[in-house]
Amino acid sequence: MKSFKKYDHLNYSLAIIFSAVVYPLINLLLALVLKRLIDAGIDRNVNDLKLAIFACLLVCIFLALSVFISEWAKNKFVNNFSKKYRKFIFKRIILSDLNEFSANSVGDFLATMTNTISTIEEKYIKSYFNIASNSALLLFSIMGMFFINWKLSIAVLIVSLAPIFILNLLGGKMQATQNAALTQQNAYVSKVKDAFSGFLVIKSFNIAKQISTEFENCNNKRADSEFSLSEINNVSVSISNFSGYLVFLVAYGLGMFMVINGSTSIGAVTAIVQLVNFIVMPLSKLGIELNNKKAGLAATKTLNQLLENLHTPVKNDSNYLELSKFEHEIELSNVSFSYPQKNKVGKKVLTNINLDIEKGKKYALVGMSGSGKTTLLKLLMRYYKLTNNGSISIDHVNINQINLSSLYHLINIVQQDVYIFDNSLAYNITLGQSFTKQELNEAINKSGLRKLVDNNAAGIKMNVGEEGKELSGGQKQRISIARALIRRTPILLMDEATSSLDQKNTTEIENAILAVKDLTAIVVTHKLNPNLLQKYDAIIFMKDGTITEEGSYDELMKQKGDLYNLCSLTIDN
């Protein structure tokens, strides 16, 4: 809890003061004025009785006020905690590196942002306050009882404390069961996510029945683990209830014996029974809350394990260089790369790549499937960091030393798989950043989206649906191209960005990119159109993770090497 207080110090302190100090104190006062009231009645002392009634009324008002303030402050704290903690976790996830993010499934993150955080809020945070207030209530009530009659108090205490030991034994089992329940809940969220995201595959391959069976297994395990949890809760509540009844029996029974033999008054027994209420109730709640806290702790551990694998974002980016312009060249020197793998060394995907990319030139990156073209672009985007093997620099500055936001002002990528947000067409191009109307129109025209905009009554405000379901594959790719063009970064990477477009549209878009004078572009393409390839300053040919040829289209065709062979293969087919 220590680390959670920082989310709202003021309301945390208010809640603790009112629930763990003010409320139990006033409660104790109520028992004492009640004793005065009953004894005044039995003594037939009207003045004392009037005074005691007035005092009781005042105490009741303060009691109600203190409950209101402590609940308000507690809810406010939980509310602020919930806002800030979710924001903090979301930021940690969204700012993580691509390889750290890919080490977990999206379902894991979804479950963390829903189930795990809710369990921490509901079980850990709320139980913390409840434990504090119930412990204080218990302590003040015991003190009051001892003050009124210590002998009766000892008997009541012995009966009250027995169930705590029994409940404590259940705590370990509770934590293990909660862990298991959380794992099942997370698996359930992942399964549901997979089923709905892969709806089209499920329909097309006729596997709805099999997926339903998988869901049923997962759902049964989730429900069973929830039931095990409720069973342990049920046992806790029953033990607490039974001990509660027993405490009343001892307080009333023994108290009345003491009244008969004249060692205490009826007022004192009533006050003690009133205080017993505040021993029984907190005791039964404490058992439950201690178990809740253990369950909440288990969720906190799960979340911390996930965060441990995500790097802490650097607050002060001053260690990194700001690069505001691209003036000369990108240099790849001895670049070798393997994708990071858990507990083993991954297969080498790139070997000793040496390449100079000059400002303003256009390069076509060509090669067989799996030869490493996409990987090369990913390294230029610094999605993965090169560690020992080689370096990539822009204008002689190693990209590992450039701060990411300034790097992405220089370089941008259009990928084959486009993620479309459930928002308007304009939002999907600007991504919520501000651009002028003219800039937006220019990007729409160059990416070939004009017809789509003009044919829709809502124009650029048209909603494209969840994951762009109201768009064709080609339209999604055009949006991705518009996203890159509007940003006018001096370096543009295109990874089969026109694969869903026909030859005419591909030619139009590639021509538009080739025509941008100062733009440095690397375009991965499988469409080996001689008319287009001739327009590139150079063609880079990749094979098995290495560059085997580099030169203009005419030079490479004359060489009759890899490009020639690939083009012949394409024409033959």
Ligand X SMILES: Nc1ncnc2c1ncn2[C@@H]1O[C@H](COP(=O)(O)OP(=O)(O)OP(=O)(O)O)[C@@H](O)[C@H]1O
**CB of 510 vs ligand X, minimal distance in Å:** 17
**CB of 548 vs ligand X, minimal distance in Å:** 13
Place of tokens 């990108």: 330
Of residues 281-340, those binding ligand X (CB under 6 A): 339
Other beta carbons within 10 angstroms of residue 347's beta carbon come to 9
**CB of 373 vs ligand X, minimal distance in Å:** 4
**CB of 371 vs ligand X, minimal distance in Å:** 4
Place of tokens 């809020």: 121
417 belongs to the binding site for ligand X (CB under 6 A): no
* Residue closer to ligand X (CB basis): 370 or 465: 370
373 belongs to the binding site for ligand X (CB under 6 A): yes
* Residue closer to ligand X (CB basis): 239 or 414: 414
**CB of 433 vs ligand X, minimal distance in Å:** 28
242 belongs to the binding site for ligand X (CB under 6 A): no
* Residue closer to ligand X (CB basis): 340 or 459: 340
Yes or no: say if 340 and 99 are a contact pair by the CB < 8 Å rule. Answer: yes
Parallel, antiparallel or unpaired: strands 362-367 and 397-398: unpaired
Amino acid at 385: K
Q: What is the DSSP letter of 347?
A: P
374 belongs to the binding site for ligand X (CB under 6 A): yes
**CB of 346 vs ligand X, minimal distance in Å:** 6
Burial pattern 134-162, b for ≥16 Cβ within 10 A else e, equals: bebbbebbbebbeebbeebbebbbebbee
- Kindly write out the interface string for residues 329-348 of this chain, putting x where it contacts ligand X by CB under 6 A and - elsewhere: ----------x---------
265 belongs to the binding site for ligand X (CB under 6 A): no
Among the listed residues 561, 558, 529, the one whose alpha carbon sits nearest the alpha carbon of residue 542: 561
* Residue closer to ligand X (CB basis): 240 or 506: 506
**CB of 339 vs ligand X, minimal distance in Å:** 3
* Residue closer to ligand X (CB basis): 27 or 375: 375
* Residue closer to ligand X (CB basis): 272 or 349: 349
**CB of 364 vs ligand X, minimal distance in Å:** 13
- Kindly write out the interface string for residues 348-367 of this chain, putting x where it contacts ligand X by CB under 6 A and - elsewhere: -x-----------------x
Q: What residues contact 389, with CB distance under 8 A and at least 6 apart?
A: 334, 335, 336, 337
For ligand X, the binding residue among 177, 270, 371, 477 (CB under 6 A) is 371
The distance of Cα 204 from the centroid of its chain, to the nearest Å, equals 32
* Residue closer to ligand X (CB basis): 153 or 375: 375
Other beta carbons within 10 angstroms of residue 464's beta carbon come to 21
**Cα separation, 419 vs 427, whole angstroms:** 13
* Residue closer to ligand X (CB basis): 365 or 484: 365
H or E segment and range at residue 431: none
Beta bridge partners of 414: 494
369 belongs to the binding site for ligand X (CB under 6 A): yes
User: Total residues contacting ligand X (rule CB under 6 A)?
Assistant: 10
* Residue closer to ligand X (CB basis): 303 or 365: 365
379 belongs to the binding site for ligand X (CB under 6 A): no
Q: What are phi and psi of 516, to 5 degrees?
A: -75, 115
**Cα separation, 287 vs 298, whole angstroms:** 17
415 belongs to the binding site for ligand X (CB under 6 A): no
370 belongs to the binding site for ligand X (CB under 6 A): yes
**Cα separation, 132 vs 14, whole angstroms:** 13
* Residue closer to ligand X (CB basis): 372 or 490: 372
**Cα separation, 536 vs 243, whole angstroms:** 85
Q: In the 3-class helix/strand/coil scheme, how is 501-526 assigned residue by residue?
A: CCHHHHHHHHHHHHHCCCCEEEEECC
**CB of 216 vs ligand X, minimal distance in Å:** 32
For ligand X, the binding residue among 255, 372, 390, 468 (CB under 6 A) is 372
Going 310 to 314 to 319 to 322, the CA torsion angle's sign is: positive
Among the listed residues 4, 59, 8, the one whose alpha carbon sits nearest the alpha carbon of residue 35: 59
Site of interaction with ligand X (CB under 6 A): 339, 349, 367, 369-375
